[in-house]
Chains A and B, each alone.
Chain A
Amino acid sequence: MSDKVLVLGELRDGVLRNVTFEAIAAAKKIKEDGEIVGVICGDGDLGEQAQEMIYFGADRVVTVSHSDLKMYTSDGYAQAVLSVIEDESPYGVVMGHTAVGKDLTPKVAARLESGLISDATSIEVEDDEVVFTRPIYSGKAFEKKAIESGLVFATIRPNNIPALERDESRTGEVQSKDVDIKDLRTVIKDVIRKASEGVDLSEANVVIAGGRGVKSADGFKPLYELAEVLGGAVGASRGACDADYCDYSLQIGQTGKVVTPDLYIAVGISGAIQHLAGMSNSKVIVAINKDPEANIFNVADYGIVGDLFEVLPVLIEEVKQLKVAN
């Protein structure tokens, strides 16, 4: 059997998303001594991005460049990826559990009639069997899953499997492959950017999230300020989105984004179960809320009972001083 593991890289605005590097680390867990082969689909010269995958641990990278791969479409990308899979006959395939990963991988798995384990948060090898842990029931439970037979195919949740250190001394071959892309049945006419500029919410190491307690769109200003000094992203509860304090693209929870940052600061969020579904697996949770009975304190590691508009300015100053001291 082949010992190659393919890592499907994902570009956003021409730059590889961080989860791609985490997927390389995941591939190494799946087959420790295997050959890690990166795959990048896109348009134009992809050499620089391929080199970046090598710095993060890929042994070799195959690029597929075509004008019809400039934008992601399931038909276009599936043709490219299936063609590489056919060439390489890999043992495993890994990709990030992102909008593109969720859309593309089931199609590829269906074509290959293979299993697919989605949204894994950790990987272990037990007696030659690769076991994936993934959250179920909105993070209220976990399951361990393995592939029964055939291709070991998985998507990994961003921010859970640490990427290897970037190392420019790593070397590897970059091969470009031509694939005939045809019969695209969906066409992207336009993209309206709503997600905030800067740090990507689902990949952020620090998330500052506001709820109804923030009271207005203006009330989010100190949250943005704190996010900036911490290098994090701003999110929100459904309550804050419903009240029009911010765009739904910021919503965290069962019907919004699922985030697992190192640090989650919940500001003026009561902690409804639907919200917890989107953030309860964060590594460290801080709650700031006026109401000492708020449910959010039950999942928080540290809590401050108080008025967020008094607490945040002090917190911003303290963090600034710390950053200066560092």
Chain B
Amino acid sequence: MNIYVLLKKTFDTEEKIVVSNGQIEDDGAEFIINPYDEYAVEEAIKQRDAHGGEVTVVTVGDEDSEKQLRTALAMGADKAVLINTEDDLEEGDQFTTTKILEAFFEDKEVDLILAGNVAIDEASGQVGPRLAERLGMPYVTTITSLEIDGDTVNVEKDVEGDVEKVLTSLPLLVTCQQGLNDPRYPSLPGIMKAKKKPLEELEIDDLDLDEDELEPKTKTVDIFLPPEKEAGRVLEGEVEDQVKELVSLLKNESKVL
């Protein structure tokens, strides 16, 4: 099976967010593989081990994205592709990323594409389904189980807590939800091997794309931090008094009761 994983690097979840000049400051920030994409990498490795084939991890990013690709290779992926847009694109959105990936996949034989269901930074969750549509493939989002038998695929999908059992077929794109698997940590031998695994770097020229075709359909007008919350009020006294005060505050001050 030809298995591909779409991967994005994101801020480490513990990072404090700093905004300057309407931009998120990323100097010195720690980056990780988007947590939902880790489920995708893990599932790709498992499916390859069960059915044979090859796992290729693909990212649209900059030269620093190599680190996250190497981590995926250390987990067990076979090959990596970095589509580096740093020098060519100033801005992009989900349309842009999809267009780049569509061009990349145009001449590929694909059985299965896995992605995270959402990236925890911009959190649009669009690129997976958009790409499937452009490639003419069916897709299932937020999956928690994947069973492949020949061309037949049985999927379990999380729908706001309910579980849908979905029957579909390859080629297929899925986006991964928590609960699908437990992503492995790269082993030391894995990390050593990853250094020698193939990592191909492409630019948009290599995909016969030019900047005009990649003009984003949306623009960011501003980025700002939520207003500092005033320190909350810790109530005092006996439990009964605290509760009475709380109910009164919720009713009269916040007006939510």
Q: Chain B residue with minimal CB distance to A286? A: B246
Min Cβ gap B20→A in Å is: 12
Q: CB of B234 within 8 A of chain A?
A: yes
Across the interface, do A137 and B164 meet the contact criterion of CB distance under 8 Å?
no
Across the interface, do A311 and B239 meet the contact criterion of CB distance under 8 Å?
yes
Across the interface, do A284 and B164 meet the contact criterion of CB distance under 8 Å?
no
A70-120 interface with B by 8 A CB criterion: 74-75, 78, 98-99, 102-103, 105-107, 109-111, 113-119
Residues of chain B lying within 8 A (CB to CB) of residue A110: 98, 129-131, 133-134
Q: CB of B208 within 8 A of chain A?
A: no
Residues of chain A lying within 8 A (CB to CB) of residue B141: 102-103
Across the interface, do B235 and A304 meet the contact criterion of CB distance under 8 Å?
yes
Across the interface, do A195 and B232 meet the contact criterion of CB distance under 8 Å?
no
Residues of chain B lying within 8 A (CB to CB) of residue A303: 232-235
Across the interface, do A106 and B220 meet the contact criterion of CB distance under 8 Å?
no
Across the interface, do A302 and B220 meet the contact criterion of CB distance under 8 Å?
no
Among the 9-residue stretches A31-39, A52-60, A147-155, the one with 4 or more Cβ atoms under 8 Å from chain B is: A147-155
For the residues of B in contact with A, the DSSP-based class is: mixed
Q: CB of A224 within 8 A of chain B?
A: no
Across the interface, do A115 and B233 meet the contact criterion of CB distance under 8 Å?
no
Could you write out 23 A-B pairs with CB less than 8 Å apart? A75-B138, A98-B160, A106-B133, A110-B134, A118-B124, A137-B120, A142-B226, A144-B223, A186-B138, A186-B167, A188-B167, A189-B165, A191-B165, A192-B162, A195-B161, A201-B161, A230-B257, A248-B161, A257-B160, A297-B234, A304-B239, A319-B257, A322-B257
Which positions in B face A, CB cutoff 8 Å? Answer: 11, 13-14, 16-17, 19, 24, 35-36, 93-95, 98, 120-134, 138-142, 158-169, 178-179, 215-226, 229, 231-235, 239-240, 242-244, 246-247, 249-251, 254, 256-257
The 9 closest A-B pairs by CB, nearest first: A249-B161, A115-B217, A195-B161, A185-B138, A110-B130, A106-B129, A110-B133, A106-B126, A115-B218
